[in-house]
Structure 1
Amino acid sequence: MILVGDSLAMVVMGHDNTLAITVDEMLHHTRAVRRAVRRALVVADMPFGSYHGTVAEGVANAVRFVKEAGAEAVKIEGPRVELVAALTDAEIPVVAHLGLTPQSVHRMGGYRVQARTAETAMRLKADAVALAEAGAGAVVLEGIPREAAAAITAELTVPTIGIGAGPECDGQILVFHDLVNLSFSPQAKFVRRYADAAAMFRGAIERYREDVEHRTTRTWGTRAIRERSLGQTVLITGVLFISLSSSEAVQEHFHADPKEQNSNNHECCGFAIRRRFTIRFGQGHSEEHKGNAENPSPDSLHERRVRRSFPEKFIHAVAI
């Protein structure tokens, strides 16, 4: 099972909690996961507000996850027995979620362990049984004592999936970004880190920066031309990206040869020219330039077309 969780609001989008993410954003991420998965069951979290109104509204939003995103099941938080029954009648598999439910963070007063007393543990077990009887195919138990999770697991005929609920659950789940240290916020106490991807990425970016500073980056073209432009030395080869000041600049000043245009590369903020050429800015000079005024080289002709197409006042930066 792969759960596309609303925790991506925090670990991917940088929000403080899971409440801000929308249905459309969850659909977007679920589609991306669906395209990559071949065998695992894809479960989509229904975000806050998508099932907190009427049962009909909840079913309609769940249908979108199945039809538009390819989810094979949806997950909802809380003891919503009527909604689980309605989703089951609509042929939509449901995973229930009890215990520490992140969408209830304000009501709980923070991310706190739940079912800490005998009374609340018994109530939680009754909710789990009711959800299973209503049609839930599995129950996620989060942030509860292992004794409570063990008692619920023993009572249910459907699997329990634990996250911070002890090893007695039938299965375990963990946020991928927590597992490899790619989270923005402090991790929960029960999270065990299995790798440090943040340190790996940081080291790779630092080494790349050093290569750029020492001009030891590799080029994939057969020619490398050093230009001094805008007060900086840049290496031009292969794909040159010219940043324009606005979309109006693109519309008004883009007049390159249509045969050399690639519409797939034309965007409102710039244009990628997919060929090798030299280009000069200001008083810069090229270390490699062939041809003369009477017999210009193809590259110099292309250079003139580029400079005619992109007036210098609109050129802000050159990057490879």
Structure 2
Amino acid sequence: MKKWIYSFNKNIDDVKNPAVLLGNKGIGLNLMTGLGLPVPQGFTILTSLNHYFQKNKSFPIEFENELAENILKLEEISNCKFGSTTNPLLLSVRSGSQKSMPGMLDTILNIGFNKKVLKFYEKQDKSLFAWDTWRRFLHMFSHVVYKIEHFYFDEILDSYLLGAGLQFEKDLEVNDIEEICNQYLILIEERIGRPFPEDVDEQLVLSIKAVMESWFNERAIDYRRINEIPDDFGTAVNIQRMVFGNLDDESATGVVFSRNPQDGKKRLKGEYIIRSQGEDIVSGFKTPWVISNVDKSE
């Protein structure tokens, strides 16, 4: 039977040309898991499914069954449950081609979040985290899946900040974010003609399809043409348990290199933002802190 998914902990030594099937990101996650590093659990959907989807505009039944099996395994490893309102498992969906295309393909974070999960975190005394994550998810999911431009979400946020006399997102309190989310939901329903999907299985399938479709977005096509990357490579998709850099003031998101990417010197180089998620640092819209004291003086 044809396989569409490889878990991060699966041995890939016997796989011919693993980068072709798993993409460079998938290989990296697999290797780090094999080394015993603390990689959030997950699995890689192979590029072969991307090729199938582009041809048929649907997924084969056997993939849907394999996806359900791998979600179940992830639940067992994490001791959480996808769709649970008492012990929720939240996921990220990321692309991963055999050739690096930084920032060209789409990512969706916080899949599995809905109003019931929000209420769960509120009961855990994590209201600010809950509403911030819901706001982020509504924006990112709707932009990537439904192609609602960032402008409309930014306009709502900026208008609210101005009206409330606030300067930055970090100044928002729970009641502020709740009002912004309500406006987001109205916007989304107006644009797609239905309420925002709260069924977690629907969220996951729509996210996988959207990330695969991003292989043929305009910026990705232009990037491949400029860098002479073949269109028929396709992208793998990495499904991974969420880690929350926006959980509290002792949490952060960042990027770190074991060597300086500018000159190749062997010294740690990286950046981070307190109480944020990954897209904040890669988008360039927020100013990060540097990790090394050397970089602070440059």
User: What TM bracket, shorter-length normalisation?
Assistant: under 0.3
TM (norm. structure 2) is: 0.27
TM-score, length basis structure 1: 0.26
Larger Rg: 1
Structure having the higher helix fraction is 2
